[in-house]
Every structure is written in structure tokens, then in C-alpha cells.
Amino acid sequence: MGLLGSITLGSLSLPLMVFVAEMCVVTLSTLRIIFIARGRRLLAPLLGFFEITIWLFAIGQIMKNLGDVGCFMGFAAGFTSGSYLGILIEKRLALGTLVVRIITTHDAAELIVGLKEAGFGVTRMHGEGTTGPVQVVFSVIQRRELSAAVGVIKRFDPHAFYSVEDVQMAAAGVFPLSRRRVSGAPSTVRPAA
């Protein structure tokens, strides 16, 4: 039984190494692509260096063991897990800037006050929608602040239409100094440099 256990463990070690390597490669690849899209010019190439180094190890093991189905399965499972893990890590990091666009048929004054009290800069425009006059409110926010902004929008109108888009670059706006405050209390706001 001891010999059979060591053979099984030995036969699983290579596919497990390939799995871990490929999971790391795809996680780094996912983050690198996200960082490129967010304009992180220094971090993306650094991740690329580690990504390709680990990939060379994983593909080298596959090429040496072309007849080992376990290596193929480990590679495929690592790819799948790495994609999922990369997305989870990116959501946790919450990097980047977003523009939130709210379109409402209601008077947006209360919404604007709520967003300003929460420390967000706002811009309001009047427009014409399919059903008549609308007000369009824009706010450029940090990704990690999205839930706070959506909370303000939902308190204003639980059925409000809003959209969220990534911003490549933003300058000369109003951004909060800090979000470490008591919930509901206005934060200090400063013009962006």
C-alpha cells in the first residue's frame, strides 16, 4: 500500500505543479491586461515578466510529458482557475476611475446634494429623452467608491437609470480627500490637481 501511495502521489505531483504554474500565469495575465487598460505603464510589464517566466516552466513540462493526460488536465484546470482568480483579485484591488451617468426625469437637485454630501463632484446637464425632458448627472469617481455612489443614487430613486464606464484619465475635478469618515457625514472635498 505504501508503494502504491507513493506512485499515486508521484504521478500527481507533475500535474499539480503544472496546474499551479498555469493558474499563476493566467492570473498574472488577467491582471496585466487590466493594468494595461487602466494605464498602469510600470506594473503591467513587470507582471508580464513573471507571467512569461512561469509560462515557460509550465509549457516546458507539458512538452516533456506529451503523453501525460494529467499534465493536460492540470494545464486546463489552471487556465480556468487563473481566469477566475485574476478577476477576483482585480475586484478586490478596485483600481481605476469610473464615470457614473445618471439620467432622470425627476428634479435632480436632491441627488446632486446627496452626491456632494458624500464627497463626489457632480455635473448636471439638461437633455431630451424619449419620453420628454431629462436631467443628466455625471460624477467621476474612484472604482472603490462605486457602491457608495450607487447607494446615494438608490436613495434618490430606487429605479433610477444609471450607467458606469471606465475612464482612461481624469484631471481637474473634485475628488474626496479620504473616505475614512462616519457614514452619512460629509467628507472633505478638494479640487483635483
31-87: per-residue pLDDT in tens?
898 888 777 788 888 999 999 999 898 888 878 887 888 888 888 999 999 999 988
Write down the pLDDT at residue 189.
41
Write down the pLDDT at residue 124.
94
Write down the pLDDT at residue 90.
80
Q: What is the dihedral of CA 184, 187, 189, 192, to 10 degrees?
A: -90
- Around 41, how many Cα atoms within 13 Å sit in the side-chain half-sphere? 2
- CATH number of this structure's domain 97-191, picked from the four choices 3.30.300.30, 3.10.450.50, 3.30.70.120, 3.30.70.890: 3.30.70.120
Main-chain dihedrals φ then ψ at residue 68, nearest 5 degrees: -90, 105
Q: Can you tell me the distance from the alpha carbon of 99 to that of 173, in angstroms, rounded to the nearest whole number?
A: 12
Helix, strand, coil: what percent of the chain each, to 5?
Answer: 55, 20, 25
Among 78-82, 166-170, 187-191, the minimum mean pLDDT is found in 187-191
Mean pLDDT of 156-169: 86
Extract the C-alpha cell encoding 123: 455635473
Q: Can you tell me the distance from the alpha carbon of 157 to that of 32, in angstroms, rounded to the nearest whole number?
A: 37
Write down the pLDDT at residue 171.
64
Q: Can you tell me the distance from the alpha carbon of 29 to that of 10, in angstroms, rounded to the nearest whole number?
A: 29
Mean pLDDT of 19-23: 92
Extract the C-alpha cell encoding 112: 446632486
Domain with CATH 3.30.70.120 in the chain: 97-191
Average pLDDT, the chain: 81
Confidence of residue 154 (pLDDT cuts 50, 70, 90): very high
Beta carbons within 8 Å of 19's beta carbon, 6+ residues apart: 74, 75, 77, 78, 81
Quick one: which of 63, 41, 50 has its CA closest to 21?
Answer: 50
Confidence of residue 190 (pLDDT cuts 50, 70, 90): very low
Q: Is the pLDDT of residue 186 over 60?
A: no
Quick one: which of 133, 127, 138 has its CA closest to 162?
Answer: 138
Write down the pLDDT at residue 138.
94
Q: Can you tell me the distance from the alpha carbon of 55 to that of 75, in angstroms, rounded to the nearest whole number?
A: 10
Confidence of residue 114 (pLDDT cuts 50, 70, 90): very high
Write down the pLDDT at residue 166.
81
